[in-house]
Amino acid sequence: MRLVDAPVKVAPLGGQPARFRWQNRTYRIARIVDQWSYLGRWWAGEGEWRFFRVETAEGGLFELYLDVAANQWRLYRVYD
């Protein structure tokens, strides 16, 4: 597993990621393995982050999150 924490373009469907683009490649999400929310450190100005551990059609396992306040998606982890 490696930490990436980089912005990515996500095509959401019903509030959940359907596909994302990273390193000039588009990944189609086959299933959401797990999801949870992190409410952040309010004293540090963090808001809610919605995490999704996803499996892609190609078989990769990734963790994405949506920073709700910033309305920005990020790729958080890649599982090797």
The residue extents of the domains of the chain are: 33-72
Which stretches does DSSP call E strand in 14-60? Answer: 16-22, 25-38, 49-56
Predicted local distance difference test score (pLDDT) of residue 66: 96
pLDDT tens per residue across all 80 residues of the chain = 999 999 999 999 988 999 999 999 999 999 999 999 999 777 887 789 999 999 999 999 999 999 998 999 999 999 98
Contact 65, 49 (CB under 8 A): yes
Predicted local distance difference test score (pLDDT) of residue 60: 95
**In the structure encoding, which two tokens stand for residue 79, read together?**
């599982």
Contact 64, 54 (CB under 8 A): yes
